[in-house]
Amino acid sequence: MSNPQLPGVDSAIGKATLAHVTRRLLPFLLICYAIAFIDRTNISVASLTMNKDLGLSDVAFGLGAGIFFLGYTIFEVPSNILLARIGARIWIARIMLTWGVITSLMMFSTDATSFFIFRLLLGIAEAGFYPGVIYFLSTWFPTQSRGKAFSLFQIGGPIALVVGSPLAGSLLQLNGVAGLAGWQWVFLITGIPAVIAGVIFFLYMTDRPSQARWLPAEQREWLVATMEKESLDSGEHGHSFKTAMKHPIVWLVSAINFLIILSLYGVSLWLPRIIKNFTGAGDLLTSFLSAIPYVAAVVAVLLVARSSDRRRERHLHVGVPALIGAVALALTGAVAQQPWLALVALSLASAGIYAAIPPMWGLPTAVLGGSAAAAAIGTISAIGNVGGFVGPYIAGLINGATGQPLASLIAMAISLALAGVLVLVMRTHSASSKPAGSSAANAELTQTPKA
């Protein structure tokens, strides 16, 4: 725009533009993430009958659940760098098509080995989707508005489990139809939406604001100018992979993400079996009860993200939910003899885990831009997803040794508590390194913690 005094995000044109972008991008991206989450976690409900058919022990199931993240992690950073070069429209569409096909092919698992292979291939196919979308959104939304954007995308995860758990439970009831086991129907049906959504993504999405012909010219010019100004004003002007790898915030947030993701998947992939253990419910009712904690998570994600953007603060909005979730996980086992109290505790834990994630992404994207941001997001997500392997595997080892699915929740609580403590320590260092005369709000969004 020609006006040297560029209107801010709270101006009339800023609000109108971002509302337009939100309506165009976020609903479909939320659906895509929900599909992804269903396809990576559908084994949690399928395991209610699949484990017996395939002869999977708790340890083997935990390994198979987690091995997805090994493939995902290995290919995540290269995938995100390729996305920055090729564009989200083509690359994410490719990701969705391949993971949808492999999800359906999982119906042909016959034993532990084939189950492991399909889970590994699924992780490789999906690699780069989540960090790719985070990077994509960071090119469309200014820093001040990213918390809301990330949260609207992030709630696709818990929404997927609100819908996906009952759906998978219902598909289990097709056991014997067309000669297929119920868990085979789960994989066959849940893979199809990803293929359809991949085609729609290619036809519907736009790579960059400058290409957004669906925006009025004035709004498009404002958005392009705003994003260019933010890139110049960010704490780092470098746009290389080397720049990202040298930045301490990348490694600090990677550690936090690892600890949160460890607890997230250490709980979610075992949740139906945990709930069945303390309620004694049948498979279908268990699948419906398993959706309840994720309803709480959706509400918490939206409320915390709204507060984070309004206050322009990220650290507390990560640390406090993480610590609340840790306490709730620890309490779940203590009240297991009272099923409804245990379900409330699990709901509070899920709310804390999921609510901590969107504001966490506001930390690195506030100080890195361009390819450096893509590399940083890919690295943080890749290291975090190692936790996706470690969490279910640790849970499997503990549950196998004790025979109690609730036993692993203490380990998940410790991991989540460590994440909360680490981000609050980051906040202390950020405050101590705040430049004289800068606002607290600005420091929270842009100041880099000292290593």
pLDDT digits (tens, 9 = 90+) for 333-387: 888 889 899 999 999 999 999 999 989 987 886 666 666 776 777 788 888 888 9
pLDDT of residue 240: 58
Q: What is the 3-state secondary structure (H, E, C) of 306-332?
A: HHHHHHCCCHHHHHHHHHHHHHHHHHH
Q: Of 292, 262, 296, 289, whose CA–CA distance to 273 is shortest? A: 289
Q: How far apart are CA 271 and CA 387, in angstroms?
A: 17
Q: Of 150, 427, 144, whose CA–CA distance to 302 is shortest? A: 150
At 435, the pLDDT band (50, 70, 90 cuts) reads very low
Q: Would you say residue 435 lies in a domain?
A: yes
Mean pLDDT of the chain: 86
Contact between residue 156 and residue 134 where contact means Cβ atoms under 8 Å apart: no
At 296, the pLDDT band (50, 70, 90 cuts) reads very high
Q: Would you say residue 451 lies in a domain?
A: no
Q: Would you say residue 3 lies in a domain?
A: no
pLDDT of residue 311: 87
Pick 4 or 122 by higher pLDDT. Answer: 122
Mean per-residue pLDDT, 417-442: 68
Least confident of 11-20, 132-141, 267-276, 428-437: 428-437
The 10 Å CB-count burial string (b at 16+, else e) for 74-90 is bbbbebbbbbbeebbbe
At 236, the pLDDT band (50, 70, 90 cuts) reads very low
Q: How far is CA 402 from the centre of its chain?
A: 30
Looking up residue 356, the CATH number of its domain turns out to be 1.20.1250.20
- The fraction of the chain above a pLDDT of 90, given in percent, is 50
Domain, as residue range, for 212? 12-446
Pick 10 or 435 by higher pLDDT. Answer: 10
> What share of residues in the chain are helix, strand, coil (percent, to 5)?
80, 0, 20
The alpha-helical segments, DSSP class H, found in 55-128 are 58-86, 88-105, 112-126
Q: Would you say residue 76 lies in a domain?
A: yes
Q: Would you say residue 352 lies in a domain?
A: yes
Structure tokens at 297: 């998570």
Q: Would you say residue 167 lies in a domain?
A: yes
Statement: residue 214 has pLDDT above 90: yes
Nearest-Å Rg of the Cα atoms of the chain is: 21
Statement: residue 91 has pLDDT above 50: yes
Contact between residue 91 and residue 132 where contact means Cβ atoms under 8 Å apart: yes
What does each C-alpha distance from 169 to 35, 105, 297 come to in angstroms? 16, 19, 20
Least confident of 140-144, 383-387, 447-451: 447-451
Helix, strand or coil, per DSSP, at residue 423: helix
Contact between residue 372 and residue 244 where contact means Cβ atoms under 8 Å apart: yes
Q: How far apart are CA 124 and CA 127, in angstroms?
A: 5
pLDDT of residue 247: 77
Pick 400 or 211 by higher pLDDT. Answer: 211
How far does the chain reach from its first CA to its final CA, in angstroms? Answer: 38
Q: Would you say residue 328 lies in a domain?
A: yes
Structure tokens at 46: 């399928």
Count up the domains in the chain and report the number.
1
Statement: residue 437 has pLDDT above 80: no
pLDDT in tens, 32-46: 999 998 998 899 899
At 174, the pLDDT band (50, 70, 90 cuts) reads very high
pLDDT of residue 451: 29
pLDDT of residue 72: 86
pLDDT of residue 371: 63
Q: How far apart are CA 336 and CA 275, in angstroms?
A: 9
Mean per-residue pLDDT, 325-332: 94
pLDDT of residue 289: 92
Structure tokens at 91: 């690359």
Q: Would you say residue 5 lies in a domain?
A: no
What does each C-alpha distance from 161 to 106, 187, 374 come to in angstroms? 19, 15, 28
